[in-house]
């Protein structure tokens, strides 16, 4: 796989702030975020910027020593099947073996690729039989993913991030059916997490079904920075409830297009054209055709 930006923070940071005793706090933190575009930090305008994983890493650094942080295993468009495949590579196993905190976002692409959103009409449609099959497959894959993580990352606490209602702009009478399917997905994720002692992080209550302030683009399901803030704070309600990301702690927006990131990757790691083509074909996933052909996308968080 083509070498890409690895959002990793190395070196121990000085401890700052008091810390109440809590079993889930890992010192020093070695944090790896895996999963889909939410873990990668995709914006409502199909760019990459600070996501919930980056905000979690920043808040960890404010409050405790951090050994490293990586979202190198976060790929826009990944389904649970893609995530299962990605964590079994030698590169992934090496990263995961040293992690003691892992967050995972997986399952939404299994479901939402089957939902047809008409932003002009404010309507949602899907075929129930297809959705039932996809949810069952997501359950099977998530069980396998968490089993692999338990095997590859025996010292890590795994946090399974739930999903929010992604269509707040549609008509109210169009929300119920899809909201029910997302509730089922969250139930599946929670059950899978509980089977192996992982922690399920519920985010849906922070959004509700009308969160146009957090999901501002009627034609896109990704949240803005405020939405990612809500997701990160939901994580801290499980990890260390006293820690909260305040509005004045949010970083400035610095979105990069997929083209800009790929160009920067090519500059940092020039290869033969045929090698680049092969790498892009490997990273591309048909589960999200709008992103097909793009590599895994990340943005490094500098130590400050």
Q: What is the pLDDT of residues 5-42, one digit of tens each?
A: 334 333 333 333 333 334 478 899 999 999 999 999 99
- The answer to whether the CB of 71 falls within 8 A of the CB of 54 is yes
Q: Could you write out the DSSP letters of every residue in 46-62?
A: SEE---HHHHHHHHHHH
194 has pLDDT over 80: yes
- What pTM value is reported for the model? 0.83
Q: For residue 271, what pLDDT is reported?
A: 57
Mean pLDDT of 146-173: 97
- The answer to whether the CB of 299 falls within 8 A of the CB of 50 is yes
Mean pLDDT of 102-131: 97
**pLDDT level of residue 278 (50, 70, 90 thresholds):** very low
Phi, psi (rounded to 5 degrees) for 102: -130, 130
> Starting from the edge strand earliest in sequence, which strands make up the sheet with 29-35, in order?
66-74, 29-35, 101-105, 157-161, 199-201
Mean pLDDT of 117-142: 97
Q: What whole-number distance in Å separates Cα of residue 205 and Cα of residue 11? A: 36
pLDDT in tens, 131-159: 999 999 999 999 999 999 999 999 999 99
pLDDT in tens, 205-244: 999 999 999 999 999 999 999 999 999 999 999 999 999 9
Q: How far is CA 13 from the centre of its chain?
A: 25
**Mean pLDDT value across the chain:** 84
Q: What whole-number distance in Å separates Cα of residue 116 and Cα of residue 126? A: 6
Q: How far is CA 294 from the centre of its chain?
A: 17
Q: For residue 22, what pLDDT is reported?
A: 41
Q: Look-up: residue for tokens 């030698």?
A: 90
**Which domains, from first to last, does the chain contain?**
29-291 (3.40.50.1110)
| Three-state secondary-structure class, residue 202 | coil
Ranges of beta strands (E only) in the chain are 29-35, 47-48, 66-74, 101-105, 116-118, 123-125, 157-161, 199-201, 256-257
Higher pLDDT, 61 or 3: 61
Secondary structure of 117-159 as H, E, C letters: EECCCCEEECCHHHHHHHHHHHHHHHHHHHHHHHHHCCCCEEE
C-alpha separations of 171 from 112, 118, 209, 224, 268 in Å: 17, 11, 11, 21, 46
CB atoms within 10 A of CB 276: 17
Q: For residue 85, what pLDDT is reported?
A: 97
Helix axes 90-97, 128-152, angle to 10 degrees: 60
Q: Of 194, 207, 198, which Cα lies nearest the Cα of 234?
A: 207
Give residues with Cβ within 8 angstroms of 218, minimum separation 6: 119, 122, 169, 170
Q: What whole-number distance in Å separates Cα of residue 170 and Cα of residue 175? A: 7
């Amino acid at each position: 796989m083509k070498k890409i930006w690895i959002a990793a923070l190395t070196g121990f940071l000085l401890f700052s702030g008091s810390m109440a005793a809590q079993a889930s706090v890992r010192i020093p933190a070695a944090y790896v975020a895996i999963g889909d575009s939410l873990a990668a930090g995709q914006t409502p305008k199909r760019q990459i910027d600070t996501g919930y994983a980056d905000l979690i890493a920043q808040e960890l650094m404010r409050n405790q020593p951090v050994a490293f942080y990586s979202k190198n295993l976060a790929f826009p468009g990944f389904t649970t099947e893609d995530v299962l495949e990605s964590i079994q590579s030698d590169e992934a196993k090496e990263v995961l073996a040293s992690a003691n905190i892992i967050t995972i976002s997986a399952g939404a692409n299994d479901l939402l690729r089957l939902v047809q959103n008409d932003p002009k009409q404010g309507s949602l449609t899907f075929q129930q039989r297809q959705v039932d099959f996809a949810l069952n497959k997501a359950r099977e894959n998530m069980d396998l993913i968490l089993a692999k993580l338990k095997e590859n990352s025996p010292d890590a606490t795994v946090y399974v991030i739930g999903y929010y209602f992604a269509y707040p702009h549609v008509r109210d009478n169009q929300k119920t059916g899809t909201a029910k399917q997302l509730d089922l997905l969250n139930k599946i994720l929670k059950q899978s997490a509980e089977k192996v002692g992982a922690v399920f992080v519920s985010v849906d209550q922070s959004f509700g079904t009308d969160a146009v302030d957090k999901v501002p683009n009627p034609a896109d399901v990704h949240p803005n920075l405020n939405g990612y803030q809500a997701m990160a704070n939901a994580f801290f309600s499980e990890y260390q409830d006293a820690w909260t990301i305040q509005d004045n702690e949010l970083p400035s927006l610095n979105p990069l297009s997929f083209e800009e990131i790929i160009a920067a990757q090519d500059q940092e790691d020039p290869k033969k054209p045929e090698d680049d083509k092969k790498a892009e074909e490997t990273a591309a996933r048909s589960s999200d055709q709008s992103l097909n052909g793009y590599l895994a996308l990340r943005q490094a968080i500098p130590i400050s």
